[in-house]
Amino acid sequence: MGENQTEIESKVYNLILNPHTRDWERAQLREVIDEVAAEKSFDRALADLEVKFRPLALRNNLTPDVTDFYHQLVGNKSSADPLDLSRHYAKDAPNQERAIFAGGCFWCMVEPFEKRPGIIAVFSGYTGGEVANPSYDQVVGQYTGHVEAVEIIFDKRVISYKELVELYWQLTDPTDAGGQFNDRGNNYQPIIFVYNSQQRQIATDSKMKLIESDFYGRPIMTKIKAATTFWPAENFHQEFYKKNPKRYKGLERERKLFLRYLRLKGRLRAILKQLNIIR
């Protein structure tokens, strides 16, 4: 792992104390501490732990923070490097603004925004719920009322909030209130969270324009709500497209294919309306 025993033991203790660590994971971590206390080789104890975690890690079924620790155990440091969240907590400069969009799994919502000029930072996280500092397990289990979302910090001199909203419509299916694409459940519903009256007006006008276009031929279900506390997700979920490129590309390919299908249907619908074949 490239760290000394004291540093690794500290991480093990922190995971044991982490309220989001599952009971089974916590038991395995405690066993490492107990075995070392009984004078078992520390390296041997870590090797045994890696073997126990491996089946779940290969199925992406460890909790996010334990997943990061597992990647450190096997030497995959780039997947476990912590993302600097200081921009999330910092006060915005006069030329900066924030936007929050929920559009299904946040893994696929980061890259399209992050690569636009004028974007300062994009964070994956949870918002719109009632519980402080929710975990991924809690949100996916729909126990807290949160949705997966992205928080975008942008430079208003380079890119406008209106442009971000227009991009958001291109990334989602606004007619699906039960989730997005293969991700089903209230935690994946599409919502635009607005910080002020100006954002609300821009989002509302954009939504009305989409409704009036009748592009989809179905009701637009995307909600517009007041922004509430945005809780950054666990490090495992931050910049997922960079840390897990192969898995991300597979998910993104499916998403793009479905969006292309929706746009094709919309264009066909427009042609049929022009020909007075449908109304």
Characterize the bridge pairing of strands 147-155 and 119-127: antiparallel
Catalytic residues: 105
Structure tokens at 224: 């517009």
With 0-12 / 13-18 / 19 or more C-beta atoms within 10 angstroms meaning exposed / middle / buried, residue 233 is buried
The Cα-based distances of 33 to 21, 40, 43, 237 in angstroms read 16, 10, 12, 28
Structure tokens at 8: 């690794």
- How far is C-alpha 168 from the geometric centre of its chain's CA atoms? 14
Which of 165, 191, 166 lies closest to 176, judged by CA?
Answer: 191
If one counts every other C-beta atom within 10 angstroms of the C-beta of residue 137, the result is 13
